[in-house]
Amino acid sequence: MLKLISDRYIKPLLFLTFAAKFNNMSKQTFTMIKPDATGKGHTGAILDQIVKAGFSIKAMKWIKLTEEQAGLFYDIHRARPFFQELVDFMISGPIVAAVLEKDNAVADFRTLIGATNPAQADEGTIRKIFAASIGENAIHGSDSDENAIIEADFFFSKLERF
């Protein structure tokens, strides 16, 4: 009898679990307010812009990365000429890491922060307003749903998300 119940319900349950996770994926992104912006006292203004754009904060922490952690986070750029400069910058001061939620979160957040190089960022974007250069560009935003999950998991346990 028990076996019958589990056979009958386990597949739909697994499907629903997967569907819920997939559905949540496209609604969440990950961000870091970088050391240039925290150091200049822009944290509050940037968070205000994020919340006013319709994102809700699902997890957040104020931390200083180690060299190893920064290198691991940006591992994909390890072969790039600016890698060490990027790591040195990311460990130069505290950051604010956060998981954000909104429909179409990844794409909408990339629009909100603007191009990697602030000189090419649209008016009104966070990087246009707060960033000084392509390296010291104030804020990070995940570039895909898959990376949003990987990056959020890098910083936050399940107990730290609400």
Q: Which residues pair with 95 in a beta bridge?
A: 63
Q: Are 158 and 55 in contact (CB under 8 A)?
A: no
Q: Strand, helix or coil at 58? A: strand
**93 counts as binding ligand GDP under rule CB under 6 A:** no
Largest CA distance in the chain: 67
Residue 95 near residue 64, CB atoms below 8 Å: yes
Given the residues 140, 145, 155, 156, the one annotated as active site: 140
Q: Which is nearer to ligand GDP, 35 or 102 (CB)?
A: 35
Would you say 79 or 159 has its CB closer to ligand GDP?
A: 79
- The residues, ordered by sequence, that sit 6+ positions from 56 with a Cβ below 8 Å of its Cβ are 100, 101, 102
Active site residue 140: yes
Q: Site for ligand GDP (CB under 6 A): which residue of 65, 86, 98, 148?
A: 86
Work out how close the CB of 157 gets to ligand GDP at its nearest, in angstroms, rounded to a whole number.
Answer: 24
Interface residue list for ligand GDP (CB under 6 A): 77, 82, 85-86, 116, 134-135, 137, 140, 143
Enzyme catalytic residues: 140
